[in-house]
Structure 1
Amino acid sequence: MGLRPFGMLNAMAQGASTDYKALVCIFLYGGNDANNMLVPFDATGYANYAKIRGPLALPQTGTGSLLQLGALPNFALNPNLPDIATLFNNRNAALVANVGTLVEPTTRAQFLAGQMLPSNLFSHPDQQLEWQNAAPTGGTATGWAGRIADTLNASYNPNASIPMITSVAGDTLFCNGSSSTPVSVSPGNISGASCSEGTTECGAQLATAQALLTFDSGLTLVQADDSITTNAYQYAKTLTAATQSVSALKTVFPANNGLATQLKQIAQIIQVRAALGVNRQIFFAGIGNFDTHSDQLTLQNALLAQISPALAAFYQATQELSVANNVTSFTMSDFSRTFQPNSNTGTDHAWGSHHIVIGGAVKGGQMYGTFPQLVLNGPDDSGTNGRWVPTTGSMQYAATLAQWFGVTAAQLPNIFPNIGSFSQETLGFI
């Protein structure tokens, strides 16, 4: 069971809302090398890419070659993303270029002068937190999804039997609000921990455990933990009842694929949204490790080969559930990686990255933002080896998703305090 402060669970709500919306975050832990995810395909652009990338350059033709995008022919996707290419060409997916953590719009010159920069750039833990909280520093108590829940939960989910946010990838800052808290689900084990002994023994153990939770120790932390655990038992019971009351999904998710298992669990929870009384939901999933300091082609290609069919199956499941236009999935990651390889046929920590957004409401088949000039020591390079200065802030990316979800323009500054630093607060990809 996910031991989070789940909140007391009410009776199952009746009826479904026609205004249902869900956001699904897929976090690529470790820093996905977006330079090998989205590649220039025109003759001049590819030649420049191949020259600088050297041993990491993906072939333009032949075995394992790049997938030219029909809707964006001057660019191509990694050969291990065929499903994403199909979704993009069918206008159900969009690409957002050179996104990264920013306090305000920043140029190379301003970076070199140290003006108004996010804290601890190129650090895994700090940049993961700053993507998840859309703040200049990782040192906050809340994430941007949690702040959305604080803002919208009372309006959209007044009769919900679970919180607005569900994580299937553990405890994250992204999910934390000031007044709202997430639920945490172990994918494939929605009914909670199991007991391997006999029925009588398991029943006795459960009764004893629950009896201990009623003991008043007088210690604040112990009582708080008991409350969390009590709610976890009730949460497991409620969600199990809801999911067991419906037929299994017909969509086939890839086997032996951890991300697919997480997304299948999310689809199953979306399937019972009416029983749970939710009109708005946010989900968090994750996959790693993209920290490819060596042997990058092997490691990254294997990870992308998991992501592509998993996201395609999830989109198919939303179609099966008739909510494809109501569910938007999107990627986040620590950062991209250096355009110039290191000596171990890998790459090191960088900054601006490219991201994927999928859903029926997405204005797909297009690239949003500004693709960087792939020039070492050039106008978009923060140094000399291809750490691109972002031309789009991560909070602009997040604010676009939030506004589609139901956050008003007037509410955006409450969730993204620095959004006013950007003349264009949202990007229009949805």
Structure 2
Amino acid sequence: MTSQTDQTPADACCAEFAAVSRRGLFSGAIALAGATTFVGSAAITTSASSAAPAPSVLVVVSLRGAADGLSLVVPHADPAYHQARPGIAVPTDRLLARDGMFGLHPELAPLLPLWTNGTLAAVHATGLPAPNRSHFAAMEAVEDADPGSAARSGWLNRLIGTTAGSSPLQGFNLAGGVTPTSLFGRSATMSAGKVDDVRLPGEGDDDQGRRRRSLRTMWDHDRSVLARGMRATYAAVDEFGPAKQAVDNTASYPATDLGKALAQVARAIRGNVGIEAVTVDQGDWDMHSGMGTADRGWMVDNTRELAGAIAAFFGDLGDQAGKVTLVTISEFGRRVVENASQGLDHGYGNVMFVAGAGVRGGQYYGTWPGLGKTDDADLLVTTDYRSVLAEIVSKRFGASTATVFPRFSPETVGVMTSL
């Protein structure tokens, strides 16, 4: 974030989310200086590395803190919207891409070219199958996407486990910090703050190959599972070379956490090293008070950052743009009715944006349930978020939705085309 840092009230977000705010664990690209690590069981479960250009790439942007979907995509024709938000509602005449029910927040203007050319869509009233207003628990549930299972496995990890290849490069966390639950599991994944940090621990510019030679001496003739994982690790680092050679276009992005992070994602994708799934975070959406108006404030700043970074990202993909799909997701939405502090408390339903390859864009999807006007009114969920993700998984990757989302029968959303 650039302008909100010193304006947000100290008590604007809830105590639970304070630990994972912009300055905390899940904070965009804050940890840009972090070294590459392999997390969980990653480095000990891959028998060989065989990176190859991926036919499809999925970028998941997590809006940490529970973004207000009713501000991002405004249901202007629902009479309860303006009645419930006398101080923070976005005026109908300010909305973009307005149809008979919905319109985009005015700060999403950088994304209008994607909307008009049919590569950006919104799915409203999405979310978990049951309300969950704890940030930590909801994040875990969304990213695990397998309710009731005791297995430590995220849906993106299950996805890359269904595709050809066995390289840690297939699943990549480029948000810095701890790899999210969605990428945790049996398949090897990678994590780094930026492209140039992908290296073996202890391997510096003046190393002259000594670290690599010592590792090979130690592991090359070992037949253990750990040794196979180590060999996969340094093979993946070697295969990542073309990404490091790709031009770094960070200067053409907004100078924000998300802009810096997506610049690294685009660079890695342009390297064409076999990446299939990438995660990145935008934090600081927990707006319990002082969220601002349609003209200025916290919501305006966050929305501007989101739109500017995504627009720059798609402009930076070059000849790889035809295989990249991006989806946004947040752990839950916010209440319909604004509170006494001109903010919004934890709610339920939300909106998801889907952009890029394979998207039937330029329109709004989902079944609108209507809004309530009581103080505890929520936007109800009419589309399980997994149905949106399942459509991406099946249409873009040809993967089994039963494998990626066990015990779930997705409904047709219609937002994606086939490969």
Q: Which residue of 2 aligns with 1:69?
A: 97
After TM superposition, the structure 1 = structure 2 runs for residues 366-385 of structure 1, keeping only pairs within 5 Å, are: 366-377=363-374, 384-385=375-376
Contact 2:335 2:345 in 1 (8 A): yes
CA distance in 2: counterparts of 1:261 and 1:191, whole angstroms: 16
- Summarize the Cα distance change of 1:30–1:228 in structure 2 as closer, same or farther, 3 Å threshold: farther
Structure 2 residue corresponding to 1:414, chosen from 354, 378, 403: 403
Work out whether 1:29 is the aligned partner of 2:64: yes
Question: What CA deviation, in whole Å up to 9, does each residue of 1:217-264 have, x standing for no partner?
Answer: xxx9xx96x98777655544442x222444x26796324221122222
- Summarize the Cα distance change of 1:394–1:418 in structure 2 as closer, same or farther, 3 Å threshold: farther
Q: Which residue of 1 aligns with 2:107?
A: 80
Q: Which residue of 1 aligns with 2:395?
A: 404
* SS of the residue 2:197 aligns to: coil
* SS of the residue 1:94 aligns to: strand
After TM superposition, the structure 1 = structure 2 runs for residues 16-415 of structure 1, keeping only pairs within 5 Å, are: 20-42=55-77, 45=78, 48-61=80-93, 66-69=94-97, 72=99, 74-102=101-129, 117=130, 121-136=132-147, 140-152=151-163, 156-157=164-165, 161-169=167-175, 170-178=178-186, 180-192=187-199, 203=207, 207=211, 214=218, 235-239=236-240, 241-246=241-246, 248=247, 253-273=252-272, 276=273, 278=274, 281-297=276-292, 298-318=297-317, 320-321=318-319, 323-377=320-374, 384-408=375-399, 411-415=400-404
CA distance in 1: counterparts of 2:118 and 2:83, whole angstroms: 32
Q: Which amino acid aligns with 1:96?
A: V
CA distance in 1: counterparts of 2:89 and 2:154, whole angstroms: 36
Structure having the higher Rg: 1
**How far is 1:52 from its partner?**
0.9
Contact 1:92 1:360 in 2 (8 A): yes
**How far is 1:347 from its partner?**
1.0
Contact 2:51 2:165 in 1 (8 A): no
* SS of the residue 2:112 aligns to: helix
Contact 1:91 1:363 in 2 (8 A): yes
CA distance in 2: counterparts of 1:375 and 1:260, whole angstroms: 36
Contact 1:399 1:412 in 2 (8 A): yes
Q: Which amino acid aligns with 1:122?
A: R
Question: What CA deviation, in whole Å up to 9, does each residue of 1:268-327 have, x standing for no partner?
Answer: 222122xx3x3x601111110111111112222211111101111111223x22x33321
Q: Which residue of 1 aligns with 2:23?
A: none
- Summarize the Cα distance change of 1:293–1:175 in structure 2 as closer, same or farther, 3 Å threshold: same
User: Identity of aligned pairs, percent?
Assistant: 22
CA distance in 2: counterparts of 1:139 and 1:293, whole angstroms: 33
Q: Which amino acid aligns with 2:370?
A: Q
* SS of the residue 2:172 aligns to: strand
Contact 1:28 1:288 in 2 (8 A): yes
CA distance in 2: counterparts of 1:97 and 1:166, whole angstroms: 28
* SS of the residue 1:189 aligns to: helix
Question: What CA deviation, in whole Å up to 9, does each residue of 1:338-378 have, x standing for no partner?
Answer: 1111222111111110110001320001111112312225x
CA distance in 1: counterparts of 2:149 and 2:281, whole angstroms: 19
Contact 2:75 2:81 in 1 (8 A): yes
Structure 2 residues not aligned, in runs of 5+: 1-34
**How far is 1:208 from its partner?**
11
CA distance in 2: counterparts of 1:341 and 1:100, whole angstroms: 20
Contact 2:172 2:278 in 1 (8 A): yes
**How far is 1:182 from its partner?**
1.1
* SS of the residue 2:403 aligns to: helix
**How far is 1:266 from its partner?**
1.6
CA distance in 1: counterparts of 2:381 and 2:85, whole angstroms: 20
* SS of the residue 1:340 aligns to: coil
Structure 1 residues not aligned, in runs of 5+: 103-116, 378-383
CA distance in 2: counterparts of 1:182 and 1:207, whole angstroms: 22
Q: Which amino acid aligns with 1:398?
A: L
CA distance in 2: counterparts of 1:138 and 1:33, whole angstroms: 29
Q: Which residue of 2 aligns with 1:2?
A: 36
CA distance in 2: counterparts of 1:283 and 1:353, whole angstroms: 22
Contact 2:192 2:198 in 1 (8 A): no
Question: What CA deviation, in whole Å up to 9, does each residue of 1:26-83 have, x standing for no partner?
Answer: 00000001111111334xx3x542221121112334xxxx33315x354221121112
**How far is 1:195 from its partner?**
8.8
Aligned length: 367
- Summarize the Cα distance change of 1:339–1:69 in structure 2 as closer, same or farther, 3 Å threshold: same
**How far is 1:417 from its partner?**
2.0
- Summarize the Cα distance change of 1:213–1:67 in structure 2 as closer, same or farther, 3 Å threshold: farther
